[in-house]
Amino acid sequence: MLSCSLLAPSDEDLTGGIVTSAGGGGGSGGPSANVGGGGAGVGGSSSGSGGSGGSNETVGEYPVQPLGGSGGAAGSSGEPPATSPPDAGVSEPPPCMDCETVRFTGGVSTVELGSPGGGLYMDICPRDRVVVGMDYRYTFGSPADFGYLTSVALVCGELTPNRRAGTLGVVVGAPLPPRGVGEGVSGTGGRCPIGQVVTGFEGARNFDGTTSELREFTLHCAPLALGDDGSVALGTSQPTQPMSAEFAVSTVLPSEVMPLQPCPEGQVARGAAFHAGRWVDGISLVCSAPVLALPDGQACGAAIECQSGSCDGSCQARTCTAPAGCGCRLLESTQYAFCEAAQTQPAAAATCAGVGMHLANAFDPVVHGWLRSNADQAGIQAEFWLGGDDLVSEGNFVWAEDGAVDLASELWDRNLPRGGVAENCMEMSRDGRWDDADCNLTLPFVCETPVP
């Protein structure tokens, strides 16, 4: 058993479900065995990690792995490689004991632009990071009189506040895994200017009354400012260079225009929901309000003001008791332990129970997306066990702490669950979908427990 102090900045639990599409149209389809319309998923997405990073920077007593290249230019990448995650085996230390970080409070999903075809993918930036852009690929129709986006990948950035200097910078990281089949070529645009974050989006689609795919997508970005009192303020939002499929027909009909969907006032994008199959059908942003969080020992009035998420007149460290070799992360009032060492599902459940935890549930799509991105960052870049199974009643999946798993959820991979008596345990796949699997497989796993 490893008892560790949970000093890492925590993430806020984002509320607000996926809003139904503002536009009509059917689901995307295609010849691929892993792609289909009406809720079909896309399998085998590649990892979004990679790129060259800068040298380690030391702030105070703790080394910091930079998220981007040394130049800080928009579009730079370079998170630590999967073989040496920054928190393998222990809770992550804060970047600096004497520095502030940013947490997020509340949250809401914008209206989805496009249509709910293909499969649903929920991506939430890990920890204290926000959306600073998107990478995308596109191709042309046949005949080549229109183009459409075939995949989109979130690019997240870490907020770096310095109250003494009155600045709030953004360090760009590597993109998350792409959503969609990704045919065609990579596009340009889709990134905020240096130091800015995404606050809204608009665009255009191809719509013939039967199918609907995105052909242009424009992010709106704004700078952040840090007040003398520690408040975080947003500057004026401006559109970026469009993510365009460079379609040949330039006329956009009124039914094809997708109007601006901004985050609520004072909020920024923490993630996005994608409907994607052969092409990208629809997108909505998940927005949240940034709040400066203080290190332990600083005076506070509420837990949200603290890096550690615990306030008793002053910010207090949380203690996380995790299985040996697992790293702790905090989401709102729930502690999670990310465990790279592969075990069977019964063994993983017993390991979690041994320290008073249970295998992680993913009741909410936003929590689901947060688990996937943080697992990637923690070095779990393949499937991992969740806390759902149908061991008691075949076909009736339930979560570890009661509550039925929604068998109609779009978060299931295509035509799943379908394993019958041979596959009774739930895993989360690399591309962020639910799957039923043989409980005797050995996989990494994630434990959870509410914070007292």
pLDDT, one tens digit per residue, over 341-375 is 999 999 999 999 999 999 999 988 888 999 999 99
- In this structure, are 207 and 348 located in the same domain? no
* Better pLDDT: 71 or 185: 185
Residue 42 has pLDDT above 70, yes or no: no
In a domain? residue 306: no
Interval 84-102 mean pLDDT:
44
- Residue type at 169 in one-letter notation: G
Alpha helix (H) residue ranges in 341-390: 345-353, 365-377
CA distance 425 to 398: 10
Instruction: Tell me: do 194 and 231 sit in the same domain.
Output: yes
The residue among 242, 258, 293 that closes a domain is 293
Strands 185-186 and 129-140: antiparallel
Tokens 């130091």 appear where?
195
CATH of the domain at 178: 2.100.10.30
Angle of CA points 46, 137, 37, to nearest 5° = 75
- Say if 119 falls within a structural domain: yes
**What pLDDT sits at residue 53?**
33
Q: Is the pLDDT of residue 250 over 50?
A: yes
Boundary-marking domain end, from 293, 308, 342: 293
Same domain as 129, residue 16: yes
Q: Please check whether residues 232 and 122 belong to one and the same domain.
A: yes
Range(s) of the domain holding residue 330:
318-450
Question: Are residues 326 and 267 part of one domain?
Answer: no
219 with 323, same domain: the answer is no
Q: d(Cα 270, Cα 286) in Å, to the nearest integer?
A: 6
Tell me if 304 is assigned to some domain. Answer: no
pLDDT at 353: 95
Per-residue model confidence (pLDDT) at position 163? 76
Is the model's pLDDT at 40 over the cut of 90? Answer: no
Instruction: State residue 32's pLDDT score.
Output: 32
Question: What pLDDT sits at residue 167?
Answer: 81
Geometric angle at alpha carbon 303, from 319 and 266, rounded to 5°:
135
The single residue listed with the structure tokens 């005076």 is 299
Same domain, 36 and 184: yes
CB atoms within 10 A of CB 57: 12
Tell me whether residue 309 is in a domain: no
CATH number at 408 reads 3.10.100.10
* Residue 1: inside a domain: no
131-181 confidence digits (pLDDT tens): 999 999 999 876 566 788 999 999 999 998 887 777 888 999 989 999 999
Rounded CA-CA distance 113/126 in Å is 24
More confident residue, 179 or 62: 179
Pick the last residue of a domain from 293, 310, 343: 293
Number of domains in the chain: 2
**Residue 61: inside a domain, yes or no?**
yes
On whether both 275 and 329 belong to a single domain, the answer is no
> Does 206 share its domain with 261?
yes
Question: 29 and 171, same structural domain?
Answer: yes
Shared domain check, 326 and 287: no
Cβ atoms of residues 386 and 446 within 8 Å: yes
Kindly report the average pLDDT of the chain as a whole number.
Answer: 76
Task: Give the CB-side neighbour count of residue 70, counting CA atoms within 13 A.
Answer: 4
Residue type for position 440: N
Q: Do residues 355 and 322 touch, judged by C-beta distance below 8 A? A: yes
What are residue 170's DSSP bridge partners? Answer: 159
pTM: 0.74
Is 219 part of a structural domain of the chain? yes
CA dist., res. 424 & res. 430, Å (int): 19
Q: Are residues 363 and 220 in the same domain?
A: no
Mean local confidence (pLDDT), 305-310: 78
Q: Indicate whether 115 belongs to any domain.
A: yes
